[in-house]
Structure 1
Amino acid sequence: MKKTHFLVSMLALAFLSSCQNSDENDNESLRKEEVHNKTVNVTNHDGRPFSTGGGSAAGKFVSGPGGGVMMQGFYWDVPEGGTWWNTVKDKLTAWSDSGISAVWLPPASKAQNGAYSMGYDPTDYYDFGNFNQNGSVETRFGSRTELEALITKAHAENMQVYADIVINHNSGGQSQANPFTGTNTWTDFSGVASGKFQRSYHDFYKNSYGNNDEGAFGGFPDLCHANPYVQDWLWGRDDSVGKYYKNVMKFDGWRFDYVKGFGPWVVNNWNSNVGGFSVGELWDSNVNTLEWWANNANSSVFDFAAYYKMDEAFDNGNLNILNDDMMWKRNPYKAVTFVANHDTDIINNKMQAYAYILTHEGYPTIFYRDYEEWLNKERLNNLIWIHNNKATGTTSILYTDNDEYIARRNGYNGNPGLVVYINNSSSWQERWVETNWSSKQIKDFTGHSGWYPTTQGDKWVKIQAPPNSYSIWSLNQ
């Protein structure tokens, strides 16, 4: 749901490299005491749709050891005119070849504003741009045929497709007399063109089930999930919204919009009856609230706790805050991490933030405009490759201060893991750290550093990171 859109002016990022050579024998015992170790007892997100390192020669996504990467395949106010499904479809091979495992699409069904709507004011859940209603046949994004072609192409590239599901509220109904309010309300959806999931004032609060649930949004009619008729049409019957999206339209998962507006039991019931991957938009920075919702919804949740910590860390010079609690530390299997989305874009130092989420646990999301328009795509592809090939195992935070952050992924099932070094200062920095590897040559897989140091027998090594940037180290193999 569109809340507040922050316009961020992006500065060009300069990536520095070093041609220095490392002397790994100097003052090792003196430098060890500089490093303070903290272990976070969390696990790799091996349950996610896995992704490949750099894709395959055929451009098809193939799973790798590090986990999946999701692309948010839209932004707020994408171009009108019914071209967006084709725009996304044409990018799928390149995304797959880069190691992206899934694409999240905007709400796909017809909404009140027809060809001008971003879909968050849904009218007819079964009109994907194939019925003439609300002033148009196609949605803002295109026709049903074009949407189906996009999904088919994604599956041919071994990618999953996630639908944005808006079930807190509806819009575009006709006026009807409502005995529960004593006024007329815009709750008559008996004339939806698909003929499916017809609704009336009985299906919205306030009604015979009560005055309200967890929350309404924007003055729109608030759908009553307590009504068995609504439950049946959302997830129960064979042609319910959820089952139609999955079995007919072939969506693989769900991003649930504005889940603050209804209880987590709603998503839990949807997941139990429909299946597929799911993530909820619970806009709350409190990690306890995020964990509570994810557990009760049996769903992943966007890690807003990490999002706001990253803003404080990378934009406000306080990398120590990355020691704080986040959803990915509580349960990486249920944490979807992100740097920006269609609703909020407050982090300025985005490359450091992407280096963070693509080397840490959780299910990382790439924002379309960051990837296609605003940031260095080559550097993002490099981070995706590192994530998919090296980011395995539990996480140990090795060192933090205001300007520096170093963490180790401890490896899993024979994969060596990595060490990430983020440097927010204006000069090159060096640290001695304890790695996973004894007497092994390592390298910076970002190419920012030209060092090829060899770890000592006790696994310690000196690494470096460029100013206002990052380096990521693993075995030179």
Structure 2
Amino acid sequence: MKHTRLNSRTSRTPILLGTMLTLFYSCSEQELSQDVAGKPSVQHEIKVTNTPDGAIDGRTPGAGGPIMMQAFYWDVPAGGTWWNTVNGKLSAWDDAGFSSIWLPPVSKAQNGPFSMGYDPFDYYDFGEYNQMGSIETRFGSRAELLSLINTAHNENIEVIADIVLNHNSGGDLEANPYTGTDTWTDYNPLSGKFFRSATDFHPNDQVANDEGVFGGFPDLSHAKPYVQDWLWNRSDAVGKYYKNTMGFDGWRFDYVKGFGPWVVQSWVNAIGGFAVGEYWDGNAGTLKWWVDATGRTASAFDFAAYYRMDEAFDGNNLNKLNDDMLWKRDPYKAVTFVANHDTDVIWKKMLAYAYILTHEGYPCVFYRDYEEWLDKNKLNNLMWIRRNLAVGSTSILYVDNDEYIAQRNGTPGLVVYINNSNNWQERWVQTKWANTQIKDYTGGSNWYPWTQGDRWVKIQCPPNSYTVWSANGY
């Protein structure tokens, strides 16, 4: 019997597979201009950013840069309806400010109509061949996918494909001369493209293994010239077909721990497009190593920021936001996120979104957070703030267990105040603006204070919330 894949991302193997008390507080501008002495603000410059190298611009990213939507979650409805569901939301997403969407793996996988695509079988079957138990994929047909991509482009949204290169699934049994056993490595896709056999997996006559095996799936051998040809070198290679025929603009590479960074580098050098890798590691230095090892052809998801945000917001210690993160080391190569289809551990999500949407990095918003679980109006407000105000390098103006205040130093720039306590907070900080009226662009505070000649000003924040301040008039 062929192995099947259960619908669980964290266990995918090829075997029979959150009444807030709100206190109203206001203060006159005269009161705001008092009390500077004895209330210094601790400032810490993180870094001055440089011109981005190879960064995605998005088609209409705004001054603050692009925003990505992860346009799926684990186990979206089956039945071939997902491409049409996403297609119907693209106009609203463009209006909200999304620059790109990341789709799940689009090709036919072993689990056919039920698969989320991470068990790839035929890279060229987008829902048109009757194999693996269905014609359409879980998400729909090739025609529906092409319609989605065309709509996205008409709405000025770029489309990022989820590329699974580490492993395959769904092959037939064959005698494997490199293992002395029968293995599921005989691939005969109905698309007629990229047939595979035992020699295209590990071990083979050239190499015994690469950097990692995932869950027992047949491990694709990228060292083999035949595999390289079909993935990125040929005129009809997977990557070139996805870009030139299907219309994809960029790539999210799944499980890049499983193969060398040179694979991503080779793909991007041959095909182009934005690229981001899922290197699941909370160490910012390791993430930075991987980005550099790809020849800086790819960004990485900032798992270091993800885990520090969880410790900061859910662990009630905002000092953790002082810790190392990829966006602090390499902001134009960091894709920041609060949740995704694989992991969702942060409970105080709006504080986390206030963080990533006001800070450096390329923020990604999770579909269920935006469409189902959180306040869409608040997220839309944060996205407007990002695209219009979030410019320049970042300085931390103040931080303790409960309060975090940071400034984006460009023009127009902003000051974000995150309050993780149960009480209203206020604090004097020294900003980039002198003799300027500022306001909170979230509407959480009704203060319109003036900064002093030395740029000090008092700002406030509601309990368990955030405010974002900038010069009045934008």
TM-score, normalization by structure 2: 0.94
**In 1, distance between residues paired with 2:407 and 2:11?**
35
Counterpart contact for 1:115–1:139, Cα < 8 Å: yes
Q: Secondary structure at the match of 1:158?
A: coil
Residue number among 174, 177, 181 corresponding to 2:175 in the alignment: 177
Deviation string, structure 1 residues 57-79 (Cα, Å, up to 9, x no partner):
xxxx7331100000000000000
Question: Does 2:27 match 1:28?
Answer: no
Q: Which segment drifts farther, 19-28 or 82-91? A: 19-28
Residue number among 264, 267, 271 corresponding to 2:264 in the alignment: 267
Please list every run of 5 or more consecutive structure 2 residues that lacks an aligned counterpart in the other structure.
1-7, 13-17
Q: How much has 1:435 moved relative to structure 2? A: 1.0
Question: Does 2:285 match 1:291?
Answer: no
**In 2, distance between residues paired with 1:329 and 1:103?**
24
Could you tell me which amino acid in structure 2 is paired with residue 2 of structure 1? Answer: R
Question: Does 2:273 match 1:276?
Answer: yes
Counterpart contact for 2:207–2:223, Cα < 8 Å: no
Higher RCO, 1 or 2 (CA under 8 Å, sep at least 6)? Answer: 1
Number of positions where the alignment pairs a residue of Structure 1 with one of Structure 2: 457
What does residue range 73-472 of structure 1 map to in structure 2 within 5 Å? 73-189=71-187, 191-297=188-294, 298-411=297-410, 415-472=411-468
Question: Which position in structure 1 is the counterpart of 2:3?
Answer: none
Could you tell me which amino acid in structure 2 is paired with residue 388 of structure 1? Answer: R
**In 1, distance between residues paired with 2:240 and 2:398?**
48
Counterpart contact for 1:20–1:450, Cα < 8 Å: no
Change (3 A) 1:433 1:97: same
Q: Secondary structure at the match of 1:29?
A: coil
Could you tell me which amino acid in structure 2 is paired with residue 349 of structure 1? Answer: K
**In 2, distance between residues paired with 1:362 and 1:390?**
14
**In 1, distance between residues paired with 2:26 and 2:195?**
68
**In 2, distance between residues paired with 1:401 and 1:266?**
43
Change (3 A) 1:200 1:342: same
Question: Which position in structure 2 is the counterpart of 1:55?
Answer: none
Q: How much has 1:3 moved relative to structure 2? A: 2.2
**In 1, distance between residues paired with 2:110 and 2:393?**
46
Q: How much has 1:141 moved relative to structure 2? A: 0.1
**In 1, distance between residues paired with 2:52 and 2:424?**
34
Q: How much has 1:2 moved relative to structure 2? A: 2.1
Could you tell me which amino acid in structure 1 is paired with residue 405 of structure 2? Answer: I
**In 2, distance between residues paired with 1:24 and 1:257?**
51
Counterpart contact for 1:123–1:170, Cα < 8 Å: yes
**In 2, distance between residues paired with 1:372 and 1:225?**
38
Q: Secondary structure at the match of 1:383?
A: helix
**In 1, distance between residues paired with 2:123 and 2:135?**
14
**In 2, distance between residues paired with 1:44 and 1:106?**
32
Question: Does 2:49 match 1:43?
Answer: yes
**In 1, distance between residues paired with 2:162 and 2:405?**
35
**In 2, distance between residues paired with 1:15 and 1:277?**
43
Q: Percent identity?
A: 65
Could you tell me which amino acid in structure 2 is paired with residue 110 of structure 1? Answer: K
TM-score, normalization by structure 1: 0.93
**In 1, distance between residues paired with 2:472 and 2:166?**
50
**In 1, distance between residues paired with 2:45 and 2:61?**
28
